[in-house]
Amino acid sequence: MKPTKILFVCLGNICRSPAAEGVMKSLAKGFPIEIQSAGTAGYHIGELPDIRMRSHSHKRGYELVSRAQQFDPLIHFEMFDHIIAMDGNNLRDLKSMDQHKKYQHKLSLMIDYSQIMNVKEVPDPYYGGPAGFEHVLDILEDACAGLLKKLKAG
């Protein structure tokens, strides 16, 4: 079976989307899936995820080892089956990079897959405290489980 290719996208690719990548890789073990993450901005290209995100994730059993990359419309729209944005700004930016409106069907928001958490987006934890990182992980665990369920249902 050909693996489903998923790209999680946030702004910096050092907090939310690498955490989504780590959570989903752990949940989807054994399921034919390929997962990466990217940022709409290039501030942190090549960096490991933020130490705070790595530490909060580690406590829940997720090791975040990806290196930040910037979303490239010339490569990533074609490469991935599902491109999943963390917040409304990320989604808007992705939509605007799809100049010929060819890939809109691949785009969605992470919270579209939420099952329990009733939130509007995965909020940026970068300028906040520890509770923000825990909140992000709560949202991601719930939504990644929902996403996997959807993928398994076909």
124 is catalytic: yes
Active site residue 16: yes
Site for ligand 4NP, rule CB under 6 A = 10-16, 39, 43, 124, 126
144 labelled catalytic: no
Is residue 5 within 8 A of residue 80, CB to CB? The reply is yes
CB of residue 2 vs ligand 4NP: minimum separation in angstroms?
29
Residue (103 or 126) nearer to ligand 4NP, CB = 126
- 124-139 as b/e: b if 16+ CB within 10 A: bbbeeeeebbebbbeb
Among residues 50, 87, 124, 142, which one is catalytic?
124
**What are 83's strand-pairing partners?**
7, 107
Minimum CB distance to ligand 4NP, residue 4 (Å): 23
- What's the rounded Cα separation, in Å, for the pair 56 and 146? 21
Residues with active-site annotation: 10, 16, 124
